[in-house]
Amino acid sequence: MIPSDWMPHRRPDGETVGYVRMVGDDFQPMDLLGRPLAEAADWLAAEEALDEHPIAWLTDAFLLSVDDGDVRVRVTELTPERVRVKRDDLGAVGGDARFWELPVPETGRLRPAPPLTEWPGAAT
pLDDT one-digit tens code per residue, 23-78: 999 999 999 999 999 999 999 999 999 999 888 888 899 999 998 889 999 999 99
pLDDT at 89: 79
Please compute the mean of the pLDDT values over residues 81-105 and round it to a whole number: 86
Q: Label residue 115 by pLDDT band (50, 70, 90).
A: confident
Across the chain, mean pLDDT equals 89
Q: Which residue type does 94 have?
A: G
Does the structure show a pLDDT above 50 at 124? Answer: no
Q: Label residue 123 by pLDDT band (50, 70, 90).
A: very low
pLDDT at 117: 73
Strand arrangement, sheet containing 82-87:
99-103, 82-87, 69-78, 62-66, 110-112
pLDDT at 28: 98
- How far is CA 1 from each of CA 41, 51, 103, 105, rounded to the nearest angstrom? 24, 22, 7, 6
Does the structure show a pLDDT above 80 at 94? Answer: no
